[in-house]
Structure 1
Amino acid sequence: MEKSILIVGAGFSGAVLAHELSTRLHNKRKIVVWDERNHVAGNCHTQRDPDTGVMIHEYGPHIFHTSNKKVWDYVNSFVPFEPFVNRVKAVFQGQIYSMPINLHTINQFFGKTFNPKEAADWIGKQADTSITEPKSFEEQAIRFLGKSIYKAFFYGYTKKQWGCEPTELPASILKRLPVRFNYNDNYYNDVYQGIPRDGYTAIIEKMFRHDNIKLELGKKYIRSEEDYRYEHIFFSGPIDQFFGYKHGRLSYRTVTFERHETEGDFQGNPVINYCDEDVPYTRIHEHKHFTPWETHEKTVFFKEFSKETTETDIPYYPKRLSGDMEILQKYEEEKKSLENISFLGRLATYRYLDMHQVIEEALEVADSYISQHN
């Protein structure tokens, strides 16, 4: 019996892998893709809102950004991307500020008119340089920004987002948010930034459009003795789920959304963060602003709430606390005894990965597999 390849997960990891294997393997195999949801694209899934016609990012905003030209050219080969600069605003005590922290934020917050050097010197005086090796998110923020900015823009928001004190979070989380001493309010530093004209789901659907790919939605993978039927299994789901949670569950944060619809323009910006701890939601995203090349009379916006992931929730953000890393190490040891099974993607590797990193990883996994089996 001719064996096939099983890919678990129809998000970017599984779609890139399926596309590459189906088009580049000389000795063609049937590529079977399972996903337990009833749609492709995972948390990047987009679709038109039936009431407003706005393209909705169903699982929260996704802005594609990368400095890897190979990845940028790759995604654009499926659906053209429109340029998009993510300019986030933040509300703190009734005032709206520019994010990430930049010269305008600093001047507004402190009531100053600093030039870049003056602002850098001012923040340098605010910073607590006695913290030489920051061990937590809080220490990292105070070490480089000082207590005032940390308390205003990071403490409350982070506590709501992660469900714990920032002292419990690793310092590495803060490294993803730049601080600038100019008026550049582009949220990202990457060379290439954009949003696909037809949405992310259109990209994934094109990746799966091949005679050798059999896509089965609403089908959950559970390890069984039947796995031998597959030449190889590529798993992009939660690694603890793969092993039946035998060493315990890894912790994630998930998000829920409260939908609202109105006429015109609700907030004038795609994303506004709410930093005050007593505001229950973390941010509001208004999706018509993610497609500025479109025109819509109505608008739809979502209040986003963060919570701990339960058995019935979709995991979003790996927390990677010390206890999680101990559990992860046990699963990593389990992996060493497996043959013909590969793990890739955010959930299977329990890492915070952006879309471009997921795609880059999937291309590397595909290259490796094809080089050994062609």
Structure 2
Amino acid sequence: MFDYLIVGAGYSGSVLAERIAKELNKKVLVVDRRSHIAGNAYDHYNEDGILVHKYGPHWFHTNDKKVFDYLSEFTEWRFNYHRVKTYVDGRLLPIPINMDTLNELYGLKLQSPEEVQAFFDGVKVDTGNPANSEEMVISQVGEDLYKKFFKGYTLKQWEIDPKDLAASVTARIPTRTNRDDRYFTDTYQGVPKHGYTEMFSKMLDHPNISVMLQTDYKDIIGKIEFGKMIYSGPIDSFFDYKFGKLPYRSLRFEHETFNQENYQSHQQINYPNDYDFTRIVEWKHATGQKSPVTTITREYSLLAEEGMEKYYPIPKEDNHELYKQYKAEADKLDDVIFCGRLADYKYYNMDQVVARALMLFEKKLSNTHQE
């Protein structure tokens, strides 16, 4: 008999399992259809001894001290500022667009934030209230920078014209008026010192927690006794697609190892206009591993079809309307809690998933068990 059945051993499921087991002293069974814990954050040492992220790069960053302190109970950190270059017009230029990007791209000599802002003000297009991704970008940096840095990348990532994508997709992309070339400006940035999988392993290492891998919860649900369910899988799958399937983007990865110390200058280089892949990641820049060989990963974006992993909800209005039908069904269930990127059909950063799981625990679970 388990107090909770948790579907999914990624961030949502693992954080809630740890909290329930430790703070409430309740018995938890965590079930995942994959052969490993840690969800999409799973990392492992490949045959060449390089620590790689199986499901694409996961660079942790947050301003939320509570989230950072919580995860720090299960890992030490290798602090590392994520820096990205973008291959545009045959050159590697800083992204987010900053003073150096403009000077290198256009042969300018901008020297102050005021001069950079004046440049942006001179090229940006007044779109009123941006209604889509294209308008969001050109309202900040104008047409030319949009075409060079954003349009091709967005088309590769989503296979949807930016005119048809929600403004929120590109609203997350910053631009800078100074020379700051960090991709994120959050207070806490880096990767777990011994990998994400090790961090999750410690999170789930509690006598009240049992884990079953390579198991579909639907195959065991009639065979075990449990009180409540926490579900972090795709919400449409839970309801057997009764209103139709929610669309997702998937990813394909090509891993290659080279007999050289480094392959590229930065841990990530984006390719908005050339090649079929969106980016190349070289893991050693982030992990600090020392090795005479190096592994890179090329990342390709594609529509999720049957049997593919689901990575990104597609942010279009009709998809959101379909999700709302499933959400209304979910709200009718008292004994199932839905939580996570797939269950909420929402793009979350890692720290946002952790923050949401901690909030759910405090608001929905810890109060109900206080004697």
Query: For the superposition of Structure 1 and Structure 2, which TM-score range results when normalised by the shorter chain?
Result: over 0.9
1:18 paired to 2:17: yes
- 5+ residue gaps in structure 2? none
1:58 corresponds to which residue? 54
Aligned residue identity for 1:372: T
- Could you tell me how far apart the structure 1 residues matched to 2:245 and 2:344 are? 14
1:159: how far off? Answer: 0.3
Any residues of structure 2 matched to 1:162-311 within 5 Å, and which? Answer: 162-222=158-218, 226=222, 229-263=225-259, 264-276=261-273, 278-292=274-288, 294-311=289-306
Matches within 5 A, 1:311-330: 311-330=306-325
User: Secondary structure of the residue that 1:346 maps to in structure 2?
Assistant: coil
Of 215-224 and 319-328, deviating more is 215-224
Residue 320 (structure 1) shift = 2.2
Residue 29 (structure 2) aligned to one of 23, 27, 32: 32
Higher mean C-alpha displacement, 203-212 vs 224-233: 224-233
- How many Å separate the matches in 2 of 1:66 and 1:332? 28
Partner residue of 1:331 out of 311, 318, 326: 326
Cα distance change, pair 30–75 in 1 and its aligned pair in 2 (3 A):
same
- Root-mean-square deviation over aligned CA pairs: 1.5
Q: Which residue of 1 aligns with 2:6?
A: 7
Equivalent runs, 1:103-142 vs 2, <5 Å:
103-115=99-111, 116-129=113-126, 131-142=127-138
Matches within 5 A, 1:69-84: 69-84=65-80
Change in CA separation of 1:361 and 1:127 when aligned onto 2, cut-off 3 Å: same
Cα distance change of structure 1 residues 322 and 81 upon mapping to structure 2, 3 Å threshold: same
Distance 1:198 1:241 in 2: 34
Aligned-pair CA distance for 1:118: 1.4
Partner-residue secondary structure (3-state), 1:6: strand
TM-superposed CA distance for 1:18, in Å, is 0.5
Letter in 2 for 1:168: D
1:334, 1:225 → 2: CA distance? 20
Describe the SS at the equivalent of 1:349.
coil
Query: How far apart, in 1, do the equivalents of 2:177 and 2:105 lie?
Result: 14
Work out the percentage of aligned pairs sharing the same amino acid.
38
Residue 362 (structure 1) aligned with residue 361 (structure 2):
no
Secondary structure of 1:97's counterpart equals strand
Find the counterpart in structure 2 of residue 349 from structure 1.
344
1:44 is matched by which residue type in structure 2? Answer: A
Would you say the 8 A contact 1:222–1:242 is kept in 2?
no
State the Cα distance separating 1:371 from its structure 2 match.
Answer: 1.5
SS of the residue 2:136 aligns to: helix
User: What is the alpha-carbon distance in structure 1 between the residues aligned to residue 135 and residue 57 of structure 2?
Assistant: 29
Q: Provide the secondary structure at the position in 1 that maps to 2:110.
A: coil
Q: Does the CA contact (< 8 Å) of 1:251 and 1:320 recur in 2? A: no
Whole-angstrom CA distance in 2 between matches of 1:212 and 1:77: 18
CA distance in 2 between partners of 1:11 and 1:255 (Å): 18
- Is the CA contact (8 Å cut-off) linking 1:98 and 1:185 kept in structure 2? yes
Number of equivalenced pairs: 367
User: How much does 1:195 deviate?
Assistant: 0.8
**Paired residue type of 1:34:** V
Deviation at 1:176, TM superposition (A): 1.2
Counterparts in 2 of 1:94 and 1:319: CA distance versus 1, 3 Å: same
The alignment's TM-score, normalised by the length of structure 2, stands at: 0.96
**TM-score, length-scaled by structure 1:** 0.95
Superposed displacement of residue 311, structure 1? 1.5
Runs of 4+ in structure 1 deviating by more than 6 angstroms, as ranges, are none
Partner of 1:44: 41
Q: Which shifted more, 315-324 or 218-227?
A: 218-227
Q: What residue identity is the alignment partner of 1:58?
A: K
Once the two structures are superposed, residues 39-58 of structure 1 have per-residue CA deviations (whole angstroms, 9 ceiling, x without a partner) of 0001000111122x111111
Question: How far apart are residue 224 of structure 1 and its match?
Answer: 8.8
Deviation track 1:281-311 (CA, whole Å, cap 9, x = no partner) reads 100011111112x211100111110000011
Please say if residues 169 and 315 of structure 2, whose CA atoms lie closer than 8 Å, have aligned partners that are also in contact.
no
Kindly state the Cα deviation for residue 326 of structure 1 after the two structures are TM-superposed: 1.5
Amino acid at match of 2:41: C
Separation in structure 2 between the aligned mates of residue 241 and residue 22 of structure 1, nearest angstrom: 27
Q: Given that residues 66 and 190 in structure 1 are in contact (C-alpha distance below 8 angstroms), is that contact kept between their aligned partners in structure 2?
A: yes
Answering whether residue 118 of structure 2 is matched by residue 160 of structure 1, we say no
- CA drift at 1:3: 4.7
Q: Secondary structure at the match of 1:222?
A: helix
Structure 2 CA distance for aligned equivalents of residues 295 and 72 of structure 1: 27
Say which SS state the counterpart of residue 145 (structure 1) adopts. helix
1:192: how far off? 0.9
Q: Which amino acid aligns with 1:22?
A: A
Distance 1:68 1:333 in 2: 30
